[in-house]
Structure 1
Amino acid sequence: MKIVKAQTKEDIELAREAILQFRPNVNPASLIEQVQQMMREEQFELVYVLAEDGKKAAAFTGFRTLHHLMTGKIIYIDDLFTLPEYRGHGYAGALLDYVHSQAKERGIANVHLDSGYSLHPAHRLYLSKGYVMACHHLAKEIK
């Protein structure tokens, strides 16, 4: 299993299919620029498992370091997704392990993420990796 940290446009392009399948609200025409801006301005990191054919990402995660009064420094996982045809191979678990190793290397004691209520297979993975349901995340759209 090859884990790649995206650094170039070409790296990001390999994750295009998985990102757009998971986040259909993202404009395909500006995907590369959006990810590059997030990397420059928001400490966003895009990491993926390269499919065996080397032509695309089979699974990806996007995360960043945040600093809150409540928690101190944390790594927050924005996205974690495996293309359907690659599920069941341990890719999401390997990406979580990668994020955990990055937290440890950086002296960060906590990793946080939000997950949709109906994503039960994802919840099983998170719970098996030692995550706890620590709070309710609330959101309000401002129009």
Structure 2
Amino acid sequence: MKNDRKPAVQQAITDTDILKCSRAVQALRPHLTDAVYPEAVRQTLADNRTMVFIEEQGEAAAVAVFELGYNLFRGRYLYIDDLSTLPEYRGKGYAGQLIDWILDYARQENFDEVHLDSGVNDARTDAHRLYLTKRFKVTSLHFTIKL
């Protein structure tokens, strides 16, 4: 009989956990080289963010980083900053499993909304399909200026 048990979603708390997530984070954020990655993650986690991951073979196959906040427009919200799956683990449902975990967490903690932004290019088509399947709606355009 085949084992269809999904690996557990874990929170990255220790330095070891954070390092397990490096390759998955760097797949989405290649500018976070090994030299800057640990400090960048420590700073991001210190700024009211949480990192969760699914482990396979001693490393994170998929990772998500989210922040908790409140503002006048959204009320209590959870914002998914990063969601990344290593190429060799894509198609196993890990990104969807992380989203489901985050949505359950947000409901349990009585958040009003969950948000995420996603870049628009051909490489993001599968990600957009996942977000729409999970019932996210396209509600705005996001504008930015690099300074």
Q: Tell me, yes or no, whether TM beats 0.5.
A: yes
The aligned residue for residue 65 of structure 2 is 62
Which residue is 1:44 aligned to?
Answer: 49
Partner of 1:88: 91
Consecutive unaligned residues of structure 1, counting only runs of 5 or more, are none
2:105 equivalent to 1:99: no
Structure 2: stretches of 5+ with no match in the other structure? 1-6
Match for 1:24 among 9, 26, 30? 30
* Residue 110 in structure 1 maps to residue 113 in structure 2: yes
Q: Counterpart of 1:60 in 2: which secondary structure?
A: strand
AA matched with 1:132: K
Give the secondary structure class of the aligned counterpart of 1:70. Answer: coil
Deviations 1:45-91 (A, max 9, x none): 1100101x2x1100000001021211111100000011111011100
Q: For residues 11-61 of structure 1, give each alpha carbon's deviation from its aligned partner in whole angstroms, at most 9, with x where no partner exists.
A: 000001111121011232121122122212x1111100101x2x1100000
Aligned residue number for residue 5 of structure 1? 11
**Take 2:133 and 2:19, find their aligned partners in 1: how far apart are those partners?**
31
TM-score, normalising length: structure 2: 0.91
- Distance in 2 separating the partners of 1:78 and 1:7: 17
**For residues 36 and 105 of structure 1, what CA distance do their matches in structure 2 show?**
26
- Structure 1 residue matching 2:36: 3-state secondary structure: helix
Q: Identify the match of residue 35 of structure 1 among 32, 37, 41.
A: 41
TM-score normalised by the chain length of structure 1: 0.93
1:134 aligns with 2:139: yes
**Percent of residue pairs bearing the same amino acid type:** 37
- Asked whether the 8 Å contact 2:74–2:112 carries over to 1, the reply is no
- Write the distance in 2 (CA, Å) between the matches of 1:80 and 1:49: 12
